[in-house]
Amino acid sequence: MRWSTNKAVVGSFEGCEIVKVLVGEEQREFVLHRQLLCDTSEFFRTNVEGIPSPSSPTETDDDEEVLWLPNESPDMFELFVLWLYQRRRFAWFLDNSLRGLTPDECRAVRTNLVRLHLFAAVIDLPVLQDAAMDALQDMYLRFDWDMSPRFLAFLYGECDAQHAVRLRKWAVAMFAWTLHAGDKAVTMANQVEKLFAAYPALKADYYMHLDKMAKSRADVRIKNPQLRLPVNKLHSGERFFGFRQCTFHSHRATVGEGTCPHALAAQQLPWSLSALPKREKKDDVESDPEPELILSPVKDLNEIFFPTLSSS
């Protein structure tokens, strides 16, 4: 069991109505507090309103209605539930989970964070999109991952452009940095040509990014999209090495060089990603996982956070 029990969370919701959410084709069951779910987004509020409310918290009914999300990943939804109940400690939990994970499991966390960002876009929950984006940038910095052609093909070939817009912006910046920071431009030349031919939007976004970097006098070889600087108003030297805190956030246009709305909460978290021990081999965690290796990074989440509800 990788996550610590927070009994205060369970206690604060005792006596509240609950709702069952089934996720994926296998209909994995999650038991969540109805009001918390409804307060999170209009998507849940609209869909949960049609579910009849039990007359008592312990009442069960074999014919009761549930909310079913057939097209979502249960493993991704576990991360959503973690964020739902532990928003201010979400990054801290993820950070601590990396300590004991295998390389395959680390890649699984990455995959599910991408899915979480896309799910947040679908249900119009920008704050969750930003949390997932921050976690992705931190993971790529932590393991010094490159941007893979397979990931780009997924974003441009399988994802809705509107839902993946911020992921695409970050991934293109990562791709440009990957190609220019070392000898990858030569070894990946054939793959790049095929990618650009298959996805014209990727090619357009890539050259738009290079043009923007040139106009800002930034060197794409050293301006690292993994590096999320803790402020938006950068000094002249800082802007050449990393990206503003909110560059890939949903509120970037409104914040400008001001303070990130999430900054205060993040500063209060008792963790530091850079304090984690480094893995010795970059290649151990760099490649994309096969579908069968996309494992759940959260085990027995219902029993961890609210055992009295999951057993009812």
Q: Reply yes or no on whether the pLDDT at 200 is more than 80.
A: yes
Q: Reply yes or no on whether the pLDDT at 276 is more than 60.
A: no
| Segments in the chain forming alpha helices (H) | 7-12, 34-40, 42-48, 74-85, 90-97, 103-122, 126-143, 149-157, 165-181, 184-187, 189-198, 200-215, 252-255, 263-267, 301-305, 307-310
Q: Reply yes or no on whether the pLDDT at 122 is more than 90.
A: yes
Mean pLDDT of 39-43: 92
286 vs 205, residue with greater confidence: 205
Q: Whole-number mean pLDDT of the chain?
A: 74
Query: Where do the structural domains in the chain lie, given as residue ranges?
Result: 78-145+226-301
Give pLDDT, residue 287: 40
Lowest average pLDDT, out of 31-45, 97-111, 199-213, 231-245, goes to: 231-245
Pairing of strands 28-33, 18-23: antiparallel
Select from 276, 235, 275 the least CA-distant residue to 257: 235
Residue 136 to residue 142: CA distance in whole angstroms: 10
**How many C-beta neighbours within 10 Å does residue 34 have?**
20
Spacing of C-alpha 291 from chain mean position: 18
Q: Reply yes or no on whether the pLDDT at 124 is more than 80.
A: yes
CA diameter of the chain: 66
Q: Tell me whether residue 197 is exposed, middle or buried, using C-beta atoms within 10 angstroms of its C-beta: 0 to 12, 13 to 18, 19 or more.
A: exposed
Q: What is the pLDDT of residues 139-195, one digit of tens each?
A: 998 888 888 899 999 999 999 999 999 999 999 999 998 888 766 666 777 888 899
List, in sequence order, every residue forming a beta bridge with 28; answer none if it has no partner.
23
Q: Determine the straight-line distance between the first and last CA of the chain, rounded to whole angstroms.
A: 21
User: pLDDT above 90 covers what percent of the chain?
Assistant: 33
